Amino acid sequence: MDRAPTMEDVARAAGVSRSTVSRVFRNDGERVSPDALIAIHEAARRLGYVHNLVASGLAMRRERQLGLLVRDATNPAYGHLHAEMHRAVEAAGRPLISVTAFRHASGAAEVEGLRRLIGQRVAGVFVGTGVTAAEDLVETVTSTPLMIVGRPNTHPRIESVSYDERAHGRMMAQEIAARGHRRIAVLTAPLLYSRVFDLRIRSLLERCRELGLSTMPVDLLPVEQGVVRALDLASEQDLSCIVCPVDYVALDLLRAAAARGVRVPEDVSTVGFDGLGDGLDLLGLATLRLPVAEVACTAVARMEELLRPEQASPTSSPALEPRTARHLRREGAFVPGRTLGAVPDRLRG
């Protein structure tokens, strides 16, 4: 054959109609008998037929495909979210396409990524980033259902399934106080750097005040200098614990401490948040593990609920109908580690 084989060629070779071949390649073989399915795939293999997904429109079928906008996947929290979202969407029998925004990209870059996803005519979009404000995201809301996953959200027009960062911050403060710490340093970052960091640290500070703990904020950025500033302040002010807003900052602090001869936890304790990086158990980092898999499964199940009206009536636009957005939250768990010890003897009054 001097030309590329077509669907008609496959149908002729398999002894079936073209519509039957179409159902196999475009609808995953729905309502096709096992014998016909085998015959069609064998004919396609023999002829060298490769189905064109773009031409068929399968890759852009609005009623099937979901989209995910996720922040830099080199961050363990976002990398795990990316993997778990793919797993949950696949279990729901749908394809998922994703767009990744660089960790320190501006909110405008994230919004542009979201628009690219919507332009792919996905059925629904998940947004798993920590920078762009909900007020900016809502400007992109069309007839495509949009849901924030992972990060905190209370916007009345945007659905969300998030980690309960307010509970996490309070939980960590409780664990620190339970080990006798009363004077601690807390690394903080601007709201626009991470809304997740902001909420978990604000809630930690709130609980510390309730427990009578004295806290001293330290500017996190740039991280390499922020951890050194925290170590210096702990030494100068007799602070017994340093709170890091995320595990990768806690790891930088451990490196800086080792370089300066500061022992953890003998001289000062430290904690992080996320609990998802490989080897954290070997390092013994005390952290708060995020419930990533639970959030992903809950988000996909909720998206399926939002899409049902659209599937039942293709002309309807559920995202345009009045609806009170649901905001679901899931708590993680504290992971004890050697980096959170008792208050050093020299600091006990």
Q: What is the pLDDT of residues 280-290, one digit of tens each?
A: 888 999 999 99
Q: What is the pLDDT of residues 100-117, one digit of tens each?
A: 876 555 556 677 777 777
Q: What is the pLDDT of residues 40-53, one digit of tens each?
A: 888 988 887 876 65
pLDDT greater than 90 at residue 81: yes
SS3 119: helix
Range among 17-21, 59-63, 91-95, 322-326 rated most confident: 91-95
Range of the domain at 34: 7-56
Query: What count of Cα atoms within 13 Å lies in the side-chain half-sphere of residue 333?
Result: 6
* Same domain membership, residue 212 and residue 144: no
Element spanning 146, H or E: strand 146-150
Confidence of residue 141 (pLDDT cuts 50, 70, 90): low
* Same domain membership, residue 268 and residue 129: no
2 occurs within a structural domain: no
Confidence of residue 21 (pLDDT cuts 50, 70, 90): confident
* Same domain membership, residue 90 and residue 133: yes
Sheet with 214-219, strands from edge to edge, namely 214-219, 183-188, 241-243, 269-271
Domain count, the chain: 3
* Same domain membership, residue 341 and residue 320: no
User: Position 300: which residue type?
Assistant: V
Report the pLDDT value the prediction gives residue 27, as an integer from 0 to 100.
Answer: 63
pLDDT greater than 50 at residue 182: yes
Task: Give the whole-angstrom CA distance, residue 89 versus residue 293.
Answer: 12
Confidence of residue 314 (pLDDT cuts 50, 70, 90): very low
Name the token pair of 25: 């390649």
The whole-model pTM stands at: 0.76
Report the pLDDT value the prediction gives residue 52, as an integer from 0 to 100.
Answer: 62
